[in-house]
């Protein structure tokens, strides 16, 4: 049994096994319908360089507005799609949708923005992932550096050995690679060193306690140092306050994203947000240190 909460949002309210199972099957069934009926959309959240205060890219986050279930959040359906294998088709849709968006922005002020897409562990096992990404970019005549691939720490560390080759292939084709939710999985430092990664993303759970919580301060600083000593950049996710932003800027975190700047919004809303905000992300007077 499902119910609709608030603004037509699909929720689970039963913990019982059979209820969970039927929810699972219901979502799986409607996911099949979703792909063929254009029910997915990409939303975009700006990524901002802390020193220049420039918007340098966006993270693309999938949204599903189901005809029958209402809005279903990705945390609820991505894992089901992973278990059923539907993530492969959804992942292909995400790649194509991101390429279309990059193309649409090419003759506008947004032409230089990178789009980061989230890729599931199962997609890494597709032998042709590097070619697929590269061909999609080539067909659209887009430079590869405009597309960035986000992989969770967990997914890069399982099958680490075979991922080295894949990541080298992806990088050789000019795309960049980020590690999402860094700090929540179990990283092998020897693999972290050998993977050709561009960016570590500090998980929101460590950003939450900044700047007051000593543990979060230590962890965030350590991740920033680790990334820099491995010649990687750092993005902090889930930045919700000016204080968090100031802390991260002063501690040389390279980029930030979070509700403080913008929630993920659809393409049209993002274009309006960009036009209005890209020149004044934060009033300069609000900052302790001048913009470099």
Binding site for ligand C2E (CB under 6 A): 45, 61-62, 73-75, 78, 94, 118-120, 150, 180-181, 237-240, 258-259, 264
Nearer of residues 28 and 194 to ligand C2E, judged by Cβ: 28
Region of residue 8 (left: phi > 0; alpha: psi -120 to 50; beta: else):
left
C-alpha–C-alpha distance, residues 98 and 117, integer Å? 7
150 binds Mg ion (CB under 5 A): yes
Select the residue interacting with Mg ion from 23, 118, 123, 144 (CB under 5 A). 118
Residue burial 119-149, b: 16+ Cβ < 10 Å; e: rest = bbbbbbeeeebbeebbebbeeeeeebebbbb
Distance CA 74, CA 90 (A): 12
64 vs 105 by CB, closer to ligand C2E: 64
Closest CA to 33 of 75, 65, 1, 78: 65
d(CA 66, CA 8): 10
The pattern of x and - marking residues 63 through 102 that bind Mg ion according to CB under 5 A reads ----------------------------------------
Give whichever of 2 and 98 is closer to Mg ion, judged by the CB atom: 98
254 binds, among ligand C2E, Mg ion, none (CB under 5 to 8 A by kind): none
Q: Which is nearer to ligand C2E, 105 or 260 (CB)?
A: 260
Interface with Mg ion (CB under 5 A), residue from 39, 153, 181, 254: 181
The answer to whether 153 contacts Mg ion (rule: CB under 5 A) is: no
- Chain positions contacting Mg ion, by CB under 5 A: 118, 150, 180-181, 237
């Amino acid at each position: 049994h499902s119910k609709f909460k608030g603004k037509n949002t699909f929720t689970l309210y039963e913990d019982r096994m059979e209820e969970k199972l039927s929810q699972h099957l219901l979502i799986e069934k409607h996911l099949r319908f979703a792909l063929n009926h254009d029910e997915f959309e990409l939303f975009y959240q700006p990524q901002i360089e802390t020193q220049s205060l420039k918007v340098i890219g966006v993270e693309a986050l999938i949204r599903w507005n189901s005809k029958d279930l209402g809005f279903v959040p990705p945390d609820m359906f991505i894992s089901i799609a992973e278990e059923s294998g539907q993530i492969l088709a959804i992942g292909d849709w995400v790649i194509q949708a991101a390429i279309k968006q990059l193309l649409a922005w090419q003759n506008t002020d947004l032409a230089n923005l990178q789009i980061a897409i989230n890729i599931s562990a199962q997609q890494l096992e597709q032998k042709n992932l590097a070619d697929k990404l590269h061909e999609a970019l080539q067909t659209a005549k887009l430079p590869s550096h405009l597309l960035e691939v986000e992989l969770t720490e967990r997914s890069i560390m399982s099958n680490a050995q075979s991922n080295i080759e894949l990541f080298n292939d992806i990088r050789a084709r000019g795309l960049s690679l980020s590690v999402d939710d860094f700090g929540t999985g179990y990283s092998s430092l020897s693999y972290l060193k050998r993977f050709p990664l561009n960016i570590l993303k500090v998980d929101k759970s460590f950003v939450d306690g900044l700047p007051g919580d000593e543990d979060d301060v230590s962890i965030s600083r350590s991740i920033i140092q680790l990334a820099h000593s491995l010649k990687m950049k750092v993005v902090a996710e889930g930045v919700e306050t000016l204080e968090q932003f100031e802390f991260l800027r002063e501690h040389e975190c390279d980029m930030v994203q979070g509700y403080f700047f913008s929630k993920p919004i659809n393409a049209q809303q993002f274009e309006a947000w960009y036009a209005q905000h890209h020149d004044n992300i934060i009033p300069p007077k609000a900052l302790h240190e001048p913009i470099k």
